[in-house]
Structure 1
Amino acid sequence: MTGGRPFGQLDDGTAVRAYRLGDAAGLSAEVLDLGGILARLEFPGAQGRTNLVLGLADARAYQHDPAYLGILVGRYGNRIAGAACTLDGRRYQLTANEGGNHLQGGATGFGGRVWRVDAHAPGMLALRYRSPGGEEGYPGTLEVRATYRLDGARLGLEFEATCDAPTPFNPTHHPYFNLAGDPAVPAGAQWLQVPADGYLPVDGALIPLGEVAAVAGSPFDFRAARTPDAAPDPSDPQLRVAGGYDHCLVLEAGHRHAAMLYSPHSGIAMRIDSDAPALQLYGGHALDRQHPGIGRGLCLEPQGYPDAPNRPAFPDAILRPGTVFRRRIEYRFASPGRDRAWDEVVAALDRT
């Protein structure tokens, strides 16, 4: 299917196109067929239309992006230790693309592939990708469809996938949010609330140690809204080992939402809803080196547990033939105004 606007070419000459959802009056998005990348997301705030996500100039910049800006992540989001796992008694060696570990689906992953556009309308974009058996070392052929839907002040994303052999599968989405829309405003100045009562401590390679630790009394307690920059103890060993926030938060059972974020600078607020059991929080601290000048954003990635294929105690993350995988992520936006009390922010989001 054709459509969209030209967005440059990859190194091999493959053309990439950008598809617009929404209109100039409210929420609008621009999504690439390359990696399903959310390249732009605008919403009216106190200073007019505001871009809420970090982005790059063209297709080639995204092709060589080490930060995974805006991509659909798969087959497996986050990390798999040793770039290997054993499944039904057979050992599979995956692509090692972060030292000896596997990160965000491998060297190319879903985010570096050009997806087929199944359908495009003002409020919808459906993308499809066929991942052949052996790609990045994964067993089985995987058919995955990712559908963006924009309705009013809501942007939804749904993954649907099937396979012909058991395979690790944990897709997620990787936009960097700075609701201020200004690279000079620290991403850590946003107010964040996450209904998570546990988190996964990690080792020096950011691989989970295998335990779920309580957030109470730690810098990972966002059950009451606060800014990430206001960590109770910035010298916490887990913040030191990761260089900041790069940890999986375990959502409370029956959580009403996955996260809420608010910028007192723009007056814009966001709520994330998802059926995933966990949320990766990444503070974007590597962006200062990877993309100087674009500022920082917070990654809030609904997902399963990292390294679950190697951790029997973690929730299962294997997709098997005959099963249809579905994961839902929805972003809801409101403009309650600058310097609002948190209860006003929540009320505004609840009305969207």
Structure 2
Amino acid sequence: MQVIKESYGQLDQQSVFSYTIINDQGVEVTVINYGCTITRIIVPDKNNHYENIVLNYETLEDYLSDTNYLGAIVGRVGGRIKGGSFELDGKEYTLMQNDGTHHLHGGKKGFDKVVWDAEIIEGGVCFSYVSKDGEEGYPGNLTIKVTYTLNHNNELSIHYEAVTDQKTLLTVTNHSYFNLSGDAKRNILNHTLTLKSDEFLELDQDFIPTGHKAGVANTPFDFRRENLIETGVTSNYRQNVLVGNGYDHPFLLNTNHDNEIVLKEKESGRTLTVETDEPAVIVYTSNMLQSEKDFQGVPSQKYLGISLETQGLPDAIHHANFASIILDKGQRYTSVTHYKFGLMVD
């Protein structure tokens, strides 16, 4: 296993480096220590043609001005927090409001917008960061580690660990946009998705969970059997139309570490299987992809990638029927998500 470190640029007198992990199958994963951002995942198609399967930019400057959270770790809380505030133990905390009056993906300068420390380890890279008490409005000094490892079975693992010295909120995720066609040469409408999920969270007009867990049966949200992404894009179902014709919804997972999320693209033959210990995956079909930049020379456009954000539920602090995302003082936060890259069997 190789890990190649290269200079990627400078930010406020801090050095940014890229780390490319290469296994003996020729699969490559490149991550930069700005935002722990995945910039490339190179895997073969059915004809053994190696291509990148995540949307990326060419330069650090592009990532500095990115509004799409492209490939980055987002937190302290992935997703939206209604009104940009919450209460813990009778005390009200006001967060950075960076999505109208709401808080999104950790705020204006969340985990995606900082330079992390990095250490090369066996088979990967361990990134670490100390989020100070009050950063973006969150209480507590939080020490967090995010470790990327690649094995020779073409499996990328992301391990999260954190501790805090004061009760706070935490649920982090990776925000890569996958496109299994390779080098974004086709959109993701003809990708198929299979989810072991019976319920999804209904959203309001601001894309905040209403608290209602809706059944997927007889809706375009039923991926219990393999279904085309295009199904929800062309549907007039209210929840699909609401988010810009597609998906931007949390799905509650029935099971963990059991092939619970499978993405496929028939033309390339590529498959991606995601397994996690998180309770949910937010499926986002890039309905609102900002168009200020190109990706790999391909003009930015809706449906160019799909994010599979494994995490706790957005706005959980305001819903007693959602699993808690509160991290107590001294409690250890741990989470792991595995991404298995493969090929369809004829």
Q: Shorter-normalised TM-score: what interval?
A: over 0.9
Distance 1:327 1:208 in 2: 23
What's the offset of the Cα at 1:14? 3.4
Equivalent residue number for residue 201 of structure 1: 202
Equivalent residue number for residue 306 of structure 2: 298
* Matched residue type, 1:127: F
Q: What is the TM-score of this pair, normalised by structure 2?
A: 0.92
Distance 1:83 1:267 in 2: 43
- Share of identical aligned residues, percent? 34
Distance 2:256 2:40 in 1: 31
1:325 to 330, 333, 340: 333
Equivalent residue number for residue 345 of structure 1: none
Equivalent residue number for residue 178 of structure 2: 177
Equivalent residue number for residue 45 of structure 2: 45
Q: What is the TM-score of this pair, normalised by structure 1?
A: 0.91
Q: Aligned with 1:199: secondary structure?
A: strand
1:1-352 superposed matches below 5 A? 4-10=5-11, 12-23=12-23, 25-47=25-47, 48-117=49-118, 119-121=119-121, 123-152=123-152, 153-231=154-232, 234-243=235-244, 244-253=246-255, 256-287=258-289, 289-292=291-294, 293-294=299-300, 296-336=304-344, 340=346
Distance 2:283 2:142 in 1: 27
Cα distance, 1:9–1:24 mapped onto 2, change above 3 Å: farther
Deviation sequence 1:136-187 (CA, Å, 0-9, x none): 0000000000111100110000000000001010111110000111423121
Distance 1:309 1:60 in 2: 35
Cα distance, 1:168–1:121 mapped onto 2, change above 3 Å: closer
Residue range with higher mean Cα deviation, 73-82 or 230-239: 230-239
Number of residue pairs the alignment of both structures matches = 335
* Matched residue type, 1:282: Y
What's the offset of the Cα at 1:13? 4.7
Cα distance, 1:122–1:44 mapped onto 2, change above 3 Å: farther
Distance 1:288 1:317 in 2: 29
* Matched residue type, 1:264: K
What's the offset of the Cα at 1:9? 2.9
8 Å CA contact 2:316–2:323 kept in 1: the answer is yes
Distance 1:132 1:33 in 2: 18
Distance 1:133 1:283 in 2: 34
Q: Aligned with 1:136: secondary structure?
A: helix
Distance 2:26 2:344 in 1: 14
Distance 1:58 1:232 in 2: 31
What's the offset of the Cα at 1:232? 9.2
Distance 2:37 2:316 in 1: 25
Distance 2:247 2:224 in 1: 16
8 Å CA contact 1:43–1:51 kept in 2: the answer is yes
More strand by share: 2
Distance 1:137 1:75 in 2: 10
Deviation sequence 1:183-236 (CA, Å, 0-9, x none): 231212111111110000111110001110101111111110111102397111
More helix by share: 1
Residue range with higher mean Cα deviation, 223-232 or 45-54: 223-232
Distance 1:255 1:114 in 2: 31
Cα distance, 1:54–1:103 mapped onto 2, change above 3 Å: same
What's the offset of the Cα at 1:294? 4.4
